[in-house]
Amino acid sequence: MNKFDLKNKVALVTGGAQGFGLAIVERLLQSEAEVIIWDNDEKVLSNLKLNGKVHKFLVDVTDFDNVQKSTKETFSMVDKIDILINNAGIAGPSHKTWEYPIEDWQKVIDIDLNGVFYCCKNIVPHMIENNYGRIVNIASIAGKEGNPNAMPYSAAKAGVIALTKSLGKELADKNIAVNCVTPAAAKTRIFDQISEEHINYMLSKIPRNRFVRVEELASMVAWMVSDENSFTTGAVFDLSGGRATY
């Protein structure tokens, strides 16, 4: 395993208590970063045991006021945030577009897209002040290709890709890199939210014939948030096992 030097760097990971987020947290800690976890699962968060300098906050990224308040609380404990990983997300249930319940559409959009915007809106000004930042948004291959029976998720992740490109251009004159990853599905708790039929559909589309491992995503992210990533911004890094066609 390659080790990136993240000494003296402070990283904030949303949805960092499980799944992709936890794997990213563990990899950043191995690289000696100080890590802040924002998660809305109080039980999982409180039981989380990690080696390294970690701060845990119960945060609902779908609530702008809560994100704003949590940002202030976070900065009462650290004096900077160098790295922001917008990872928190849900899949939502599997339905045809015309049958999709309005309340479920809203939940998916709120956490998967609005949450990314709320976090960027609050954290980016601090990065601008320091003229340093590495932002990685966890999108999905669904945002490129549009999965059937997962319209809100696909639409939200497509929005995250576009948000990444827009923000990357806005910050290109500063030492702030904004990129996103479009992974294929991984066997995490998010599978509990979707049907077996949809899981099988996603697997059938991956030429490598397996789901991505959370450690593989964390490895890519570790480079993206390091000083070695000094040029690319507004980019989409594919991690789809060969599924992506563009």
CB 24 within 8 A of CB 85: yes
Catalytic residue among 118, 153, 201, 246: 153
Q: Specify the pairing of strand 176-183 against strand 34-39.
A: unpaired
Helix or strand (DSSP H, E) at 36: strand 34-39
Q: What are the start-end ranges of the H helices in 110-195?
A: 115-130, 142-145, 151-170
Helix (H, G, I), strand (E, B) or coil at 105: helix
238, 232, 122: which is closest to 169 by C-alpha?
232
Phi, psi at 133, each rounded to 5°: 180, 150
* Active site (annotated) includes residue 118: no
Q: Which residues are catalytic?
A: 153
